[in-house]
Amino acid sequence: MTMDPSTTPLVVARLQRYGEAELREIFGDDSDPFGVASTGLTWLPKEVHFGIRRHGRLLAHTGLLKAPISVGDHTTDVVGFGGVAVAPEWRGRGLARLVVTAALEHARTMGPRHGLLFCRPPLVALYERLGWRTLPEQVRVEQPRGPVIMPLRTMWTPLRADAPWPTGPVRLRSLPF
């Protein structure tokens, strides 16, 4: 992990709220900070939020929620990860690793056996570096007008020892996150 030694240690904390104002604190006025507007997808807000603040300003965020999923005939829950964000001028210093790792620790207490996230193809290598694996199957996700095939990459990570990804067609029973 690359940290800037000239700064005080950066600490991850649970956030009491995460809305438009907090998103703007991280990204400024960027109208498509996650680069996914062209997909036209509708996303779920997250329920639990972790962030890194420095001198009061929010620099990084990861959100979590529990979401229902079917894999083959089996229906269960995953912990969905989303809104992974680092302020542009703070990237490349390990903040995403810090905040995703803290969110993962919390996810392990939430019950489901797997974490799931959706990302643009250029970010697959970054998440692999953080221990996530690509799900090669197509994933159907809910949208307001009915299910669609997720156009982004789907990645998963075990939340317990010995939790391989089950086999079978994957269908998220909620909007994506």
Q: Enumerate binding residues for ligand COA (CB under 6 A).
A: 1-2, 33-35, 84-86, 91-97, 119, 123, 125-126, 129-130
CB of 167 to ligand COA, least distance (A): 25
The answer to whether 97 touches 105, Cβ cutoff 8 Å, is no
CB of 120 to ligand COA, least distance (A): 6
Q: Calculate ∠ Cα 71-75-78, nearest 5°.
A: 80
CB of 97 to ligand COA, least distance (A): 4
Q: Can you say whether residue 104 is alpha, beta or left, with left for phi > 0 and alpha for psi between -120 and 50 degrees?
A: alpha
Dmax (CA) for the chain in angstroms is 53
Nearest CB to ligand COA, comparing residues 2 and 162: 2
Site of tokens 């221990």: 131
CB of 136 to ligand COA, least distance (A): 18
CB of 72 to ligand COA, least distance (A): 26
Nearest CB to ligand COA, comparing residues 130 and 163: 130
What is the DSSP secondary structure assignment for residue 78, as one 8-state letter? E
Return all residues near 16 (Cβ < 8 A) that are at least 6 apart: none
Nearest CB to ligand COA, comparing residues 94 and 158: 94
CA gap 97, 25 in Å, rounded:
19
Nearest CB to ligand COA, comparing residues 84 and 159: 84
Nearest CB to ligand COA, comparing residues 54 and 166: 54
